[in-house]
Amino acid sequence: MSTPTPPEAARRAAGGAAIAPDALPGAPSDGARSARTAPVSFVRHVGAVAWKDLRVELRSREIVYTMAFFAALLVVIFSFAFVKDQGVVAEATPGIVWTTIAFAGTVGLGRAFDREREGDTMRALLLTPASRLSVFLGKSVAITVLIAAVSLVVVPLVTLLFGAPLFAHPLPLLILLVLGALGFSLVGTAFAAMLLRVRSRDVLLPVVLYPILVPMFIAGTKGTAALVADVPDLAAAWYWVQFLGIFDAAFLVVSMWTFESLVIE
Amino acid sequence: MHKPLIPLLLTLGLALGAATASAQPAAQPYAPPAAVTTDGYASPDRARCEAELRKDAGWYAELKLQLKDDVHQDEYATFQRNNKHVIIAYAAIWVLTVGFAFLMWLRHGKLAGELARLKSDIARGAKDADA
Amino acid sequence: MTSTPTSTAGTQRLGAGTIAFAIAAAIAAIGLPYTIWQVFYGTPLEEQLFFNQKIFYYHVPHAMLMFATVFVCGIASFGYLRNRKGTWDDVALAGGELSVLFGAIVLITGSVWGRAAWGVWWQWDMRLTTSLLLWLVMVGYVLVRRFGGPGSERLAAGLAVFGMVDVPLIYFSVKIWRTVHPKAEVVSTLDPAMKPTFWLSFLTIGAVLTVLLLLRVRTARAERELRELRERADDAGLLDG
């Protein structure tokens, strides 16, 4: 290796980068390279993919309607367990909010990727000049928006039906929900994309997703609980907000590292 | 072939026996000694209770026995001698580890057999193709 | 560049693996009886838990080694995603399955310990909860390997990498959630008379783990070879009859 043979040296001089992407699996593809040189176009690609998904959804409203209805059903079902003769078990509301969002989010996630599979459009999407990374981030953004939309239904509904003071501190709650939705969709998009060609994906998605998301559930529930407690503990809530921020950042980095080599097409 | 199963089953049975034995309510370790501060406390209920106690000597003796340190000493000794839990824990470790190794061994044997069969099939197929 | 160097590297690794296997098996064979003797006869009784504390010598090393196997699985999976060599995948599978085995041992012995020391079978104690949550990740991994069908290796590898990153996150979230038991470091506060036995036990169980890991890697390799051979024979049309 110390003394390269003439042809090898010539090849290196000619530009190692030109041969590298084909020689090394997992090396950044053309799209990723162009993304590095042109961050603006990268952001535009992310936006385009996200907007494509959201426009499809706006046209049919299938996922949002079914997710929201499913979430409402879940909240009602939780009431069987937590509504007692004299009022409601107040400690249960954070758990109800986050469990509902997680279940509804899984349903929406599966459906969003089923749509790509049915039209066989995932391959087309990956063949566009947009890098795989921007496809991944675009889809995550779209799913974050869908989950946030469902939270917009769940939180008022829980407030209404269980009388929980969820709107006492709207800003920390909003940040918690947005960070939670983002974390869910980052991990969820990575796994749903990997599962696209796997036989029993409907069963396996929650099996692989929920254990990984456990820290997010703990942070979300405990943060919300700190906000709706009789004596709200804002310091604890902000701690969990920061924790969720770290969670999202960690999985953003891991997803970006692994997504290139994970999606099978 | 099934000979290794016997010790495995024996160990499993032992562990199960130990587990069921332990399922019976065990004495609570570290039950705090009942506070026996009797001096200087008076109430109508206490007076009634003492009167009742004096009437029934058997009950009095029984209560007094329960207040003795010996009971706690006994519990303490039980806890000290307790080896049931250690036996359960070690049985679980051995059963799981040996079970895993055993299943892996069975699986590897099956795989090796299958691999050999596949190779002979391929060799035959290649010969047929040549012929 | 494709097949020949890989196979020679494979045999070389097999050689190193055989040596490692022999050493680990020797340590395990000698160390295991000695450790058991040392645990039960060579170490003084603990002052508060008495005989019950003997669980500790096996419970804690298993817990530490479970974390090690999770990292073996995660790092091997990462390597597999990077260079797509089947050997990495074999190691990842072995690490994943062993972390489930060791996790089960940790949870059972921990639960028995809880019963003996605290009077309850399950305590939402920080360490036990962390182990449980991590164990769930690894059970998910094994389920994907078993039921995912073709193409699931990469999904499982992704799950293992995500799970490895999840370890500190689970640890810290549970730590803040369960601050009810702010215990000091267990091992460093251990009675000096018990420390040698503890580390001896750690070494022996580590040797047992290595033996099991290498055996499992061998089985995983046989599985993969069988699969690949069958695919190739099918492609060549040699298996019509």
Q: Which residue of A has its CA nearest to C129?
A: A214
What tokens does B57 get? 């000597």
**Is residue C5 domain-resident?**
no
**A35, A137 contact by CB (below 8 A):** no
Of B82, B111, B126, the CB nearest to C116: B82
CA angle A236, A165, A151 (to 5 degrees): 85
Q: Which residue has the tokens 């290196």?
A: A12
Query: Under an 8 A CB cutoff, do A194 and C155 touch?
Result: yes
Query: Is the pLDDT confidence value at C104 over 90?
Result: yes
Query: Under an 8 A CB cutoff, do C166 and A214 touch?
Result: yes
**Is residue A160 domain-resident?**
yes
Q: Nearest to residue C29, comparing CAs of C220, C204, C227?
A: C204
- Number of domains chain A is built from: 1
Averaged confidence pLDDT in chain A: 79
**Is residue C7 domain-resident?**
no
Longest Cα pair distance anywhere in chain A, in angstroms?
86
Looking at the DSSP assignment, which residues form a beta bridge with residue C50? Answer: C46
What b-and-e string marks burial along C105-122, b requiring 16 or more CB atoms within 10 Å of the CB?
A: bbbbbbbbbbbbbeeeee
What tokens does C91 get? 């190691």
Contacts of B79 in chain C (CB under 8 A): 50, 52
- Greater pLDDT, B130 or A135: A135
- In angstroms, the separation between the Cα of residue C49 and the nearest Cα of chain A is 33
- In angstroms, the separation between the Cα of residue B58 and the nearest Cα of chain C is 33
Q: What share of chain C is helix, strand, coil (3-state, %, to 5)?
A: 80, 0, 20
**C128, C110 contact by CB (below 8 A):** yes
Q: Distance of CA B21 to CAs A28, B12, B87, C106, Å?
A: 61, 14, 11, 22
**Arithmetic mean of pLDDT, B87-95:** 88
Between CA C68 and CA C108 the distance in angstroms is 19
Torsion of CA B65, B71, B74, B78, to 10 degrees: 130
What tokens does C138 get? 């690894």
Please report which confidence band the pLDDT of residue A212 belongs to, taking 50, 70 and 90 as the band edges: very high
Q: What's the distance, CA A105 to chain centroid?
A: 9
Query: Is the pLDDT confidence value at B21 over 50?
Result: no
Between CA A201 and CA A207 the distance in angstroms is 10
Q: Which of residues 212-231 of A touch C (CB under 8 A)?
A: 212, 214-215, 218-219, 222
Q: Which pLDDT belongs to residue B131?
A: 67
Neighbours of B113 (CB within 10 A): 10
Q: Which residue of B has its CA nearest to C55?
A: B86
Averaged confidence pLDDT in chain C: 81
Of C50, C112, C222, the CB nearest to B112: C222
ipTM comes to: 0.77
Which of B24, B85, B110 is most worth mutating to test chain C (most C CB atoms within 10 A of its CB)?
B85
Q: Which of B30-34, B74-78, C205-209, C237-241 has the lowest mean pLDDT?
A: B30-34
pLDDT digits (tens, 9 = 90+) for C162-196: 999 988 888 888 887 776 444 545 566 677 778 88
Contacts of B89 in chain C (CB under 8 A): 55, 58-59, 108-109, 112-113
What one-character-per-residue DSSP string does C216-236 give?
A: HHHHHHHHHHHHHHHHHHHHH
**Which uninterrupted H or E stretch holds A51?**
helix A39-60
Query: Is the pLDDT confidence value at A240 over 60?
Result: yes
Q: Distance of CA A82 to CAs A70, A76, A225, Å?
A: 18, 10, 16
A15 touches chain C (CB under 8 A): no
Please report which confidence band the pLDDT of residue A14 belongs to, taking 50, 70 and 90 as the band edges: very low
Q: Which residue of A has its CA nearest to C82?
A: A26
- Greater pLDDT, A19 or C135: C135
Q: Distance of CA A148 to CAs A56, A106, A108, A241, Å?
A: 17, 13, 12, 16
**Contact partners, residue C237, CB within 8 Å, separation at least 6:** B125, B129
Contacts of C166 in chain A (CB under 8 A): 211-212, 214-215
Query: Under an 8 A CB cutoff, do C119 and B29 touch?
Result: yes
**Is residue A63 domain-resident?**
yes
Output DSSP code: residue A2: -
Looking at the DSSP assignment, which residues form a beta bridge with residue C46? Answer: C50
Contacts of C99 in chain A (CB under 8 A): none
**C26, C195 contact by CB (below 8 A):** no
Q: Which pLDDT belongs to residue B6?
A: 52
**Contact partners, residue A113, CB within 8 Å, separation at least 6:** A122, A192, A193, A195, A196
**Is residue C184 domain-resident?**
yes
Query: Which structural domain, as residue segments, surrounds residue C146?
Result: 13-235
Of A26, A199, A218, the CB nearest to C173: A218
Output DSSP code: residue A230: S
Please report which confidence band the pLDDT of residue B26 belongs to, taking 50, 70 and 90 as the band edges: very low
Q: Distance of CA A2 to CAs A7, A8, A9, A20, A72, Å?
A: 14, 12, 11, 20, 67
pLDDT digits (tens, 9 = 90+) for A153-198: 899 998 888 877 888 888 889 999 999 999 999 999 988 888 877 7
- Number of domains chain C is built from: 1
Query: Under an 8 A CB cutoff, do A207 and C151 touch?
Result: no
Of C136, C149, C152, the CB nearest to A211: C136
List chains touching A (3+ CB pairs under 8 A): C
Query: Under an 8 A CB cutoff, do C151 and A198 touch?
Result: yes
Between CA A217 and CA A95 the distance in angstroms is 9
**Arithmetic mean of pLDDT, C83-96:** 90
Backbone angles phi, psi at B92, to 5 degrees: -60, -45
Q: Distance of CA C162 to CAs A91, A208, C64, C138, Å?
A: 31, 10, 20, 11
Q: Which residue has the tokens 């029934």?
A: B56
Query: Under an 8 A CB cutoff, do C169 and A264 touch?
Result: no
Backbone angles phi, psi at A88, to 5 degrees: -120, 150
Of B89, B93, B114, the CB nearest to C226: B114
Q: Which pLDDT belongs to residue A24?
A: 37
Share of chain B above pLDDT 70, in %: 61
- In angstroms, the separation between the Cα of residue B64 and the nearest Cα of chain C is 27
3-class DSSP assignment, residue A88 = strand
**Is residue A6 domain-resident?**
no
Q: How many CB pairs under 8 A join B and C?
A: 97
**Arithmetic mean of pLDDT, B82-86:** 79
What one-character-per-residue DSSP string does C111-160 give?
A: HHHHHHHHS-S----HHHHHHHHHHHHHHHHHHHHHHS-TTHHHHHHHHH
pLDDT digits (tens, 9 = 90+) for A72-124: 999 888 888 887 766 667 778 899 999 999 999 998 888 888 888 777 777 77
**C73, C111 contact by CB (below 8 A):** no
Query: Which structural domain, as residue segments, surrounds residue A86?
Result: 46-262
C/B touch flag: 3 or more CB pairs below 8 Å: yes
- Greater pLDDT, B7 or C60: C60
Q: Which residue of C has its CA nearest to A264?
A: C151
Of B83, B93, B107, the CB nearest to C219: B107
Query: Under an 8 A CB cutoff, do B85 and C238 touch?
Result: no
Query: Under an 8 A CB cutoff, do A211 and C140 touch?
Result: yes
- In angstroms, the separation between the Cα of residue B101 and the nearest Cα of chain C is 7
